């Protein structure tokens, strides 16, 4: 017996339940997606910083915290909120107030101003009496943090302000680095902050020249030709004593002298002098100052490729002074060792002339000539 085909009316309940199930499933999936989207937005909002014009914020990379319970001077400066900073300073907040958050190493507001490259904030804090030599827990001064500023022009302007206020360009942090050495240790920042590197180098050279000039002036003003000047007390003592006792008076040989510098100190000084030579060499090269460039080479310098000194100098002049456009030369990963009376400096040289860039590993042999080091030999070692 054949079975009759169900009529459409008999199928309606199944169809209804099918579409009802589809609708319920769609609503459930939509609800779950909406909850996930809401949570994602909430998480993003929790890690976002307040929108301060001109300042990029991140809970990880910026000292500007999200929605602080109370605004400190460090927070106001880090977020570029100068009006809030002025109010805090006017109400008696110390300009050197320490940032107590662990991630920011006990820095002052001046550190933060240098870190973000805000010259107006630096000026405000210095006028309020902020200490330009203050250091954080890593012994970094504000000058040490300038290489992290995004604006190279602002970085130099800030450096000038800090130096005028008394900042020391030779200050050493816990890693034993000056601001210039900190910059030299970060190649990517070094390329961007060429002007800052040159300013720091010129500042160090000016300080050294001033010290030498002062020493020469002091020596020139010392009395000459009249013999040693005897103090009145020593003269009176000599006259009051019997002749047999005069020989017992202290002589120059009896006066204690300063201890001679240790070998480690002498080597450290020599390395610093060699770094100055390398810096002067790259600066002269970058500025196409051929007299200053050639002055870094020793009288006994031996060019590679069998060239004589005259022909080598001509070629260098063509390739440097004769080249149109800018040249930028920076050294990184500098290592200095000594070989008897000579030194060997190994480094990576980054060269950029606008349409050409390369990085070459080089080795220079140097020897002392009078009061400074000069290049004896130069070779690529890649």
The string of pLDDT tens digits covering residues 310-327 is: 889 999 999 998 888 888
Q: How many residues does the chain have?
A: 382
Query: Helices 82-90 and 119-127 sit at what angle, rounded to 10 degrees?
Result: 10
Give the C-alpha separation, 141 to 106, whole Å: 11
pLDDT digits (tens, 9 = 90+) for 329-370: 888 888 999 999 999 999 999 888 878 888 899 999 999 987
Predicted pLDDT of residue 100? 75
Average pLDDT over residues 161-170: 90
Structure tokens at 72: 């400190």
CATH of domain 73-205: 1.25.40.20
Question: Is pLDDT above 70 for 3?
Answer: no
State how far the alpha carbon of 209 is from the alpha carbons of 203, 206, 261, 279, in Å. 10, 5, 22, 16
Average pLDDT over residues 82-106: 85
Query: pTM (2 decimals)?
Result: 0.45
Domain 285-380: CATH architecture, name and number where available: Roll (3.10)
Give the C-alpha separation, 142 to 213, whole Å: 29
Give the confidence band of 246 by pLDDT, cuts at 50, 70, 90. very low
Q: Domain-by-domain residue ranges, the chain?
A: 73-205, 285-380
Give the least confident one: 35-49, 118-132, 190-204: 35-49
Q: Which residue has the tokens 């589809």?
A: 22
Predicted pLDDT of residue 170? 87
| 81: nearest Cα among 59, 126, 49, 47 | 49
pLDDT digits (tens, 9 = 90+) for 46-91: 333 332 233 333 333 566 765 454 578 988 898 889 999 999 999 9
Interior angle at CA 340, CA 184 and CA 335, nearest 5: 15
């Amino acid at each position: 017996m054949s079975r009759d085909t169900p009529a459409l009316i008999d199928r309606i309940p199944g169809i209804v339940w099918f579409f009802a199930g589809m609708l319920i499933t769609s609503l459930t999936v939509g609800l779950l997606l909406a909850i996930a989207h809401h949570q994602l937005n909430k998480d993003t909002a929790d890690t976002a910083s307040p929108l301060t014009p001109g300042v990029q914020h991140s809970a990880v990379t910026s000292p500007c915290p999200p929605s602080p319970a109370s605004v400190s001077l460090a927070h106001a400066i880090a977020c570029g909120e100068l009006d809030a900073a002025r109010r805090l300073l006017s109400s008696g907040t110390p300009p050197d107030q320490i940032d107590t958050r662990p991630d920011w190493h006990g820095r002052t507001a001046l550190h933060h101003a240098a870190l973000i490259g805000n010259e107006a904030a630096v000026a405000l804090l210095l006028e309020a009496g902020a200490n330009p030599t203050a250091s954080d827990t890593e012994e970094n001064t504000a000058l040490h943090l300038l290489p992290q500023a995004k604006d190279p022009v602002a970085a130099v302007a800030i450096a000038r302000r800090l130096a005028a206020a008394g900042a020391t360009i030779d200050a050493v942090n816990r890693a034993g680095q000056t601001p210039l050495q900190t910059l030299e240790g970060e190649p990517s920042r070094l390329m961007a902050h060429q002007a800052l590197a040159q300013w720091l180098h010129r500042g160090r050279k000016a300080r050294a020249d001033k010290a030498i000039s002062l020493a020469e002036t002091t020596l020139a003003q010392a009395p000459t030709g009249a013999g040693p000047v005897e103090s009145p007390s020593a003269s009176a003592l000599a006259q009051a004593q019997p002749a047999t006792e005069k020989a017992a008076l202290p002589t120059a040989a009896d006066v204690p002298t300063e201890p001679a510098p240790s070998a480690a100190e002498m080597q450290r000084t020599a390395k610093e002098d060699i770094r100055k030579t390398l810096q002067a060499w790259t600066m002269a090269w970058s500025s196409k100052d051929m007299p200053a460039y050639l002055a870094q080479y020793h009288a006994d310098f031996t060019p590679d490729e069998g060239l004589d000194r005259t022909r080598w100098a001509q070629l260098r002049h063509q390739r440097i002074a004769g080249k149109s456009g800018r040249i930028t030369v920076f050294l990184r990963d500098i290592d200095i060792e000594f070989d008897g009376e000579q030194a060997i400096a190994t480094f990576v040289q980054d060269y950029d002339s606008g349409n050409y860039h390369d990085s070459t590993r080089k080795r220079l042999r140097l020897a002392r000539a009078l009061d400074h080091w000069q290049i004896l030999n130069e070779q690529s070692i890649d």
